[in-house]
Amino acid sequence: MRAPATLLKGGLSAAAALLLLTACGGSDDEQSEASTSSSSSSSSSSSSSSAATSAGGGGGSADEDVQAFCTEAEAAFTQLSDTLDAAGASPADLPAALDTAVTAIGQIEAPAEISADWAASQQALAGLRDAVNSVDLTTPEGQAAVEQAVTDLGAQAGDAQTNVDAYITANCENA
């Protein structure tokens, strides 16, 4: 399983790249930047997954509540990844994809040790969903607004995402 922080960061970058790559009226410069963002997101995801694996993140925990969280988180973030991949065909599909992800992640009860960080990560994803829903994704202005939201939300939730990622790496068997 890719860690939620990695998926959320990748999801934010993928959403921004999707908007820039497929929306009408984008310039070649915007498309080039989106490709770069998407590529670095993929590279970051791969290296994060490799780092988690080589760091011995497969130790797992005997606590049933922690394992239930791990199982639910894995399912939710796999769904998020699949949904964002499926939405790649059209920016019109992105609002529903993000809404589905926010709902699924909101139903997961995080362990007390990371509940505040989990909530902050969920709020970042909800913020992205709200930003996408509040603009016309086919306009350069709408695309710029969402790109700015991605930047702002990533900065706000970065530490929380790192903490969630570290917890999952240390406690989830499939991390």
- For residues 175 and 12, give the distance between their C-alpha atoms in angstroms, rounded to a whole number: 20
* Letter string b/e over residues 26-36, b meaning 16 or more CB atoms within 10 A of that residue's CB: beeebeebbee
Q: In which region does residue 2 sit, left (phi positive, over 0), alpha (psi from -120 to 50) or beta (all else)?
A: beta
Name the one residue in this structure whose structure tokens are 């991949």.
Answer: 85
- Entry pTM: 0.62
User: pLDDT (tens digit, 0 to 9) for every residue of the chain, 175 residues total?
Assistant: 444 444 444 554 444 443 333 333 333 443 333 333 333 333 333 333 333 333 344 444 448 888 889 989 888 888 878 877 776 657 777 888 888 888 988 999 999 999 999 999 899 989 989 999 999 888 899 889 989 998 998 888 888 889 988 988 888 876 6
The pLDDT of residue 78: 85
